[in-house]
Amino acid sequence: MEHRNSTNTLVVTDENFEQEVLQSDIPVLVDFWADWCGPCKIVGPTIDALASEYYGRVKVAKVNVDDNWTSTRYGIRSIPTVILFSDGNIKNTYVGVQPKREYEDGLNALLH
């Protein structure tokens, strides 16, 4: 079952990562973050905006690294890290605060 917050961002956990991200039939942008992370708070509104703007064409998900081990599976050592998945494969990885255009360019390349 999908759990979306008020911004259309999908909340992903270890339990549903495979289904929601790796088995998705549309691209998925995953934000690995934590409550205590200052740069994550800077990136958060951008991720939320992308979730609304690309709703229905791309899933935008958030994984809290403090609550889920999935981040270790992908070797994430710095947050925020945003990974763009398509067909279960990593297509792009963004580490640290990036301009919105960076994410848009990666998404648009997969959609066109």
pLDDT 10s digits, 66-112? 999 999 999 999 999 999 999 999 999 999 999 999 999 999 999 98
Class of domain 10-111 as given by CATH:
alpha beta
- Angle between helix axes 38-53 and 100-111 (nearest 10 degrees) is 40
Asked about 94 being catalytic, the answer comes back as no
Q: Per DSSP, what are the bridge partners of residue 32?
A: 63, 81
Q: How far is 55 from 7, CA to CA, in rounded Å?
A: 10
Of 40, 50, 65, 83, the catalytic one is 40
pLDDT in tens, 25-75: 999 999 999 999 999 999 999 999 999 999 999 999 999 999 999 999 999
Of 37, 49, 76, 95, the catalytic one is 37
Asked if the model's pLDDT at residue 1 lies above 80, the reply is no
Asked about 58 being catalytic, the answer comes back as no
